[in-house]
Amino acid sequence: MIEKKISPVIVIGMHRSGTSLLSKLLEGMGVFMGADWEENNESEFFIEINDWLLKQAGVCWLEPASFNYISDDFKSVMTEIVRNRLKTYHRNKYLGKHKKNKNLADLDFAWGWKDPRNTFTWEIWKEIFPEAKIIHLYRNPVDVVSSLNIREPKSIFFTGNPTRTGLKKKLLGYFLPSKRIFIHSFRSMSLYGSFEFWKEYVSKALTVNEKCPDKILHLKYEDLLSNPEKSLVCILSFLQMELDSPTLKKLTSFINPERRFAFRGNEKYETFYLEIKNDPLLVRLKYNNI
C-alpha cells in the first residue's frame, strides 16, 4: 500500500499581524506546525532556511523588497539547495517525535509552518511543494504599526551590551564586533516607515494570486476575531479537513474580539489612520472606513 504524501500548509503575512494566533489554531486543528517553536511560534528550522535565502539575495526580513527581483537562475539554484537541506538530519529539529520520517516531502500527516519571511520566499517553497496550501493573514496597518512601535524600544541593545565599560568601548574600535550592538529596527520605530513595511509584505502576499489563485486563502485578522468559528470553518474547507463541533468551540473560546482595531482611543494612532486611510491598498482591503 502506498502512503499518501501530504503537502504543507504555509502561513504568510506581515509581522505582528496575528500569524502566531493562526499557528496555534492550526495546531489545535490537527496540523503539525513544528517541534522547534521559538517565542513567535515559528519553526527555527524554517526560519534558518528563510533567513539564508534572503541573505543570498542580499536582503533581510526588515528590508526584503529586493527579493522581488530574483532571477530564474537564482530560484533554480536555491530550490535545489533547499531540497537537499530538507533531507538532512537538520530536519529532526522541526520533526521532533516525527523524526523517523526520512524526508519532509514524504510526510503522510497534516503539517506546515508559519514564518512571515515565507511572504517573500514562497515561490521557492512552491517549486519544492507545488501542491502546498498558503494561508495569508493580514491585519489593519495601524495596529501593526502600533505593535511594532511598542515592541522595538524594549529591545534596543543585545544582552551584555559591550559599550557599557570604558575598556570595552576602546576594544570595539580595534575589534569591530561581529554581532550587532543595536537590535531594534529603526524603520519599525517610525510611523511611516512601519506603514511602508506593512505595504511591502501585504502587497507581496497578494501577488500569490497571480500564479496560484487556487492555492491561497486570504484571511482578515479582524474577521478571525469577530467570527472565529466561521473563519475556522473556512480554513478547514480550504485545507479539506474536518473538525467536530466541540473541538471547534474549544479552539475559539480564548479568542479576544476586543483586539480588533486596538488602536482606537489612542489619539496618536487615530490621527495617523486619518492620514493614511485613503491609500489604495487600504481601500482595496476595505480598511478605509473603520
How far lies 3's CA from each of 34, 97, 131, 250, in Å? 21, 19, 17, 31
Q: Where are the domains of the chain?
A: 9-284
| 83: number of Cβ within 10 Å | 15
Cβ atoms of 94 and 45 within 8 Å: the answer is yes
Burial code of 33-69, b = ≥16 C-beta within 10 A, e = fewer?
A: bbbbbeeebbbebbbebbeebbeebebebeebeebee
Q: How does pLDDT run across 39-75, given as a tens digit for each residue?
A: 888 999 999 999 999 999 999 998 999 999 999 999 9
Q: How far apart are CA 79 and CA 73, in angstroms?
A: 10
pLDDT confidence band for 2 (50 / 70 / 90): very low
pLDDT of res. 50? 97
Domain 9-284 has CATH 3.40.1000.10: no
Are 132 and 10 contacting, i.e. CB atoms less than 8 angstroms apart? yes
**Confidence class of residue 256 from pLDDT cuts 50, 70 and 90?**
confident
Q: Read off the pTM.
A: 0.90
